[in-house]
């Protein structure tokens, strides 16, 4: 009994403990086994529900930590763009692998990752390593702010892909959110073409960023569906990607000695963006509120744009602001539940109708 009272004190306070003791004593004194079982079962259900809510909040907060780290990642990537792509990726992935290898060795959990089937390794290699390749290589062809904005379509796509999983629903706001995100890309690309003409170099970067967004959102939905996979698999994917990038670097590129700043930033990106952040996001997507996480990514996107402008990596233009606003609005709309979306539409329609009625009539 006292173990359960302690648990109730943690989650429900003194009143819950008092209620439980009184109920326990009354039931025991009346010698009613059926009522006693029902009473203990009801409290057990309440306790499990409370623990589940705490677990979901904890996982959501961990996902928010990943978004905070990814906010500064475009700024870090812009500093290492001059290095060969496979050389940079090999450093980033190997740093992430070392972090996970230390954790697996410390907790003796290597057996959990080595026994996974081949399709898991392939999905992780495509979702983690290929999406990072597309993002960083795209940033070498087009402005980093443009690439980051296009790549940040993945929250809309994550919500859309996740809603197609079992026990999930695909609603109208998911489609509207995705369309708003693509409208933001159209504004960005149209302005670039109208000012500077068709630039194949830029469009290669735009295409790679879009491919990276699809790969990463697809992997996030895969991770949500396969909750049993250990989070440490992220580091294993990075380790496999580091080996592949190393051999591709030897085959197709010439080694360039990075400066101390470039090497340090590459390692920091590997430990934070490709290491800790990926694992935090993986846990948050599996056990947290994925719709809330996707809705808050528009804050991370705006913060990343502000950092790039502040540090002189990208000029502040009207098209960039409009594209960022449309894409952020798309993420916000796609993350709304059905009831919230309906209330938002009703308020918008009522406000629009009030404005039409308030307009003075123009005499003919």
The pLDDT tens digits of the residues spanning 297-333 come to 767 777 888 888 888 877 777 877 887 788 777 767 7
**Res 34: pLDDT:** 54
Is the confidence at residue 222, as pLDDT, over 90?
no
Select from 97, 49, 79, 120 the least CA-distant residue to 242.
97
Q: Structure tokens of 98?
A: 């070392």
Please state, in angstroms and rounded to a whole number, the distance separating the CA atoms of residues 112 and 108. 9
Q: Determine the Cα–Cα distance for residues 344 and 350; give it in Å rounded to an integer.
A: 10
Instruction: Report DSSP letters for 106-127, one per residue.
Output: HHT-HHHHHTS-HHHHHHHIII
Q: How far is 169 from 333, CA to CA, in rounded Å?
A: 15
Residue with the bigger pLDDT between 16 and 167: it is 167
Q: Which helix (H) or strand (E) holds 207?
A: helix 200-225
Q: How far is CA 164 from CA 158, 264, 332, in A?
A: 10, 41, 19
What secondary structure does DSSP assign to 218-257, as a single string? HHHHHHHH-TTS-TTHHHHHHHHHHHHHHHHHHHH-----
199 by Cβ neighbours in 10 Å (0-12 / 13-18 / 19+) ranks as middle
Return d(Cα 227, Cα 242) in angstroms, integer.
25
Instruction: For residues 67 and 78, give the distance between their C-alpha atoms in angstroms, rounded to a whole number.
Output: 18
Closest CA to 128 of 237, 222, 221: 237
Residue 22 has pLDDT above 50, yes or no: no
b/e burial code for range 60-98 (CB count within 10 A of at least 16 → b): bebbbebbebbbbbbbbbbbbeebbbbbbbbbbbbbbbb
On the question of pLDDT at 9 being above 70, the answer is no
3-state secondary structure of 139: helix
Q: What confidence tens digit (pLDDT) does each residue in 77-91 have?
A: 888 888 899 999 999
The whole model's pTM is what? 0.71
The pLDDT score that the predictor gives to residue 14 is 46
Mean pLDDT of 91-111: 91
pLDDT in tens, 238-249: 999 999 999 999
- Taking only the tens place, the pLDDT of each residue in 51-72 is 555 577 888 888 888 888 888 8
Confidence of residue 192 (pLDDT cuts 50, 70, 90): low
- The mean per-residue pLDDT over the stretch 267-292 comes to 84
CA distance 229 to 234: 10
CA geometry: angle at 231 spanning 282 and 160, to 5°?
25
Q: Are 237 and 121 in contact (CB under 8 A)?
A: yes
Give the chain's mean pLDDT: 76
If DSSP codes are grouped into helix, strand and coil, which group holds residue 312?
Answer: coil
Angle ∠(269,305,302) on CA atoms, nearest 5: 105
What secondary structure does DSSP assign to 53-107, as a single string? HHHHHHHHHHHHHHHHHHHSHHHHHHHSTTS-HHHHHHHHHHHHHHHHHHHHHHH
């Amino acid at each position: 009994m006292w173990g359960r009272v302690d648990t109730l004190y943690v989650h429900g306070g003194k009143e819950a403990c008092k209620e439980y003791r009184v109920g326990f004593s009354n039931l025991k004194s009346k010698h009613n086994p059926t009522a006693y079982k029902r009473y203990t079962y009801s409290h057990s259900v309440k306790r499990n529900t409370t623990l589940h809510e705490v677990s979901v909040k904890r996982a959501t907060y961990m996902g928010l930590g990943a978004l905070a780290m990814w906010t500064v990642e475009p700024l870090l990537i812009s500093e290492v763009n001059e290095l060969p792509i496979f050389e940079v990726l090999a450093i980033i992935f190997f740093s992430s692998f070392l972090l996970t290898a230390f954790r697996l060795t410390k907790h003796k959990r290597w057996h959990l990752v080595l026994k996974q089937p081949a399709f898991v390794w392939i999905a992780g290699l495509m979702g983690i390593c290929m999406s990072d390749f597309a993002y960083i290589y795209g940033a070498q062809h087009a402005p980093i702010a443009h690439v980051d904005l296009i790549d940040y379509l993945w929250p809309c796509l994550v919500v859309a892909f996740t809603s197609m999983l079992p026990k999930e629903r695909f609603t109208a706001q998911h489609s509207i959110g995705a369309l708003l995100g693509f409208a933001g890309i159209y504004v960005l690309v149209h302005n670039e073409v109208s000012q500077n003409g068709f630039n194949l170099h830029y469009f290669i970067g735009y295409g790679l960023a879009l491919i990276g967004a699809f790969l990463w959102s697809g992997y996030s939905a895969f991770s949500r569906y396969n909750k049993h996979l250990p989070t440490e698999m992220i580091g294993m994917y990075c380790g496999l990607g580091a080996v592949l990038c190393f051999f591709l670097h030897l085959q197709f590129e010439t080694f360039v000695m990075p400066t101390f700043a470039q090497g340090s930033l590459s390692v920091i990106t590997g430990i934070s963006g490709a290491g800790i952040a990926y694992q935090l996001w993986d846990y948050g997507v599996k056990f947290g509120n994925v719709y809330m996480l996707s809705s808050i990514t528009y804050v991370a996107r705006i913060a990343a744009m502000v950092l790039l402008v502040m540090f002189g990596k990208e000029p502040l233009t009207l098209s960039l602001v409009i594209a960022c606003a449309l894409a952020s609005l798309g993420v916000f709309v796609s993350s709304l539940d059905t009831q919230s979306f309906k209330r938002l539409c009703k308020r918008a329609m009522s406000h629009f109708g009030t404005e039409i009625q308030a307009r003075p009539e123009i005499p003919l």
